[in-house]
Amino acid sequence: MKVQNKRDDHGLTERLDAVLDQFLAEKALVGTVLLVLRDGELHYARAAGYADREAGRRMREDAIFRFASLTKPIVTAAVMRLIEQDRLGLNDPIDAYLPAFRPRLPDGTVPVITIHHLLTHTAGLAYGFLQPSDGPYPTAGISDGLDAPGRGFSDNLARIAEIPLAYPPGTKWGYSVALDVLGAALERLTGEALPDLVRRLVTAPLAMHDTDFVCRDPARLAVAYGDAIPEPVRLGNTAVIPFGGASGIRVAPDRFADPGSFPSAGAGMLGTAENFARFLETIRTGGAPILQRDSVAQMTRSQIGDLPVDLRDPGWGFGYGWSVLNDPVAASAPHRAGTLQWGGVYGHSWFVDPALGLTVIGLTNTAVAGMTGRFPMAVRNAVYQAVIA
């Protein structure tokens, strides 16, 4: 990818080069691809570090990464397209499509879980990696969509449905396996495999040829690494990545290669930084050719009222596919209101600031340092320091 805009970037290149050089020199990251676009023009693009440290394979701008939660907004776009086609409704109960999926509240009652609840993570479901090792999801062996190669949808859905809901749907926000449940419903509704559906509705129309639930070119796949001292460790066939005080993120980096693995709508895709930039720019500019403007407007405003997003600072809400900044002052953030942001546990962070025309994507192969903490904060600060200079 070639930087098209050669005008003065107010020190953007120098600032971002310094950030990447620092984190690579500290061995906090193994490799990264960082893109910054302003009003659709590419202002910064750099691949740095290693795609495979042990083999000496340098990172390239067209490297393919395990997307993890970058999958969610792509699948969400497919959901919104089906809604436009009147094949699905936001208020539809999920058991209309998955009759056996009827998880109960602790008191034994079966509440209505809607498509809206699943899209906004307000369904009462959870993620195992956010629970202690003896929590209900790890104990039940529920896959977060990153592990358990060979497991199909029906097995995982049955395990999820057996666990009592954490709260009545719509009353709280809780990051969860909701998109995986929704992915299974999409297959039942359409009769298509989820990868075929997403390809038809989203990635093919946008020419995102490197983005899929399988790896399109294994030679370009970045090796997955996990945080460690003195340097990140190469992840084996199965691994647990420490994450806060919870049980850790259970991963099987090559689960996508097992045809028996359910296609995780929350974490299962792979792709390139350029492809994801193409998707985000489509959303920023109104959604054509995959979505109507009204659908994008729904996706890009908070849909959860005053419910706090417990993984974010105050001031953030949640739309369909990502968090949405409602109050920059409360969030102590340089972003403008309406900024979209999320990440991926394999080491990714991104944001779109529509008011400033900014799209910033930082993909790394280092979990979780590339997703949260010092690195994405340093990238964010460097970008805004240049933009407001």
Residues 6+ apart with CB under 8 A from 387: 10, 12, 38, 356, 358
Alpha helix (H) residue ranges in the chain: 12-25, 71-84, 115-120, 136-140, 153-162, 178-190, 194-198, 273-284, 293-299, 328-331, 374-387
Which member of 69, 264, 302, 323 is catalytic?
Answer: 69
3-state secondary structure of 385: helix
Enter the DSSP assignment of 265: T
Residue where the block lists tokens 């340093």 = 378
Amino acid letter, residue 246? A
Residue where the block lists tokens 């005080």 = 245
20: left (phi over 0), alpha (psi -120 to 50) or beta: alpha
**Tokens (6 digits) for 22:** 């620092």
3-state secondary structure of 58: strand
Known active-site residue 69: yes
Question: What ranges make up the beta strands (E) of 161-248?
Answer: 225-226, 233-234, 239-241
Amino acid letter, residue 85? Q
Find out whether 277 and 359 touch, Cβ atoms under 8 Å: yes
Residue where the block lists tokens 């449905």 = 161
Give the closest residue to 240 by CA, choosing from 372, 342, 363, 368. 368
The residues annotated as belonging to the active site are 69
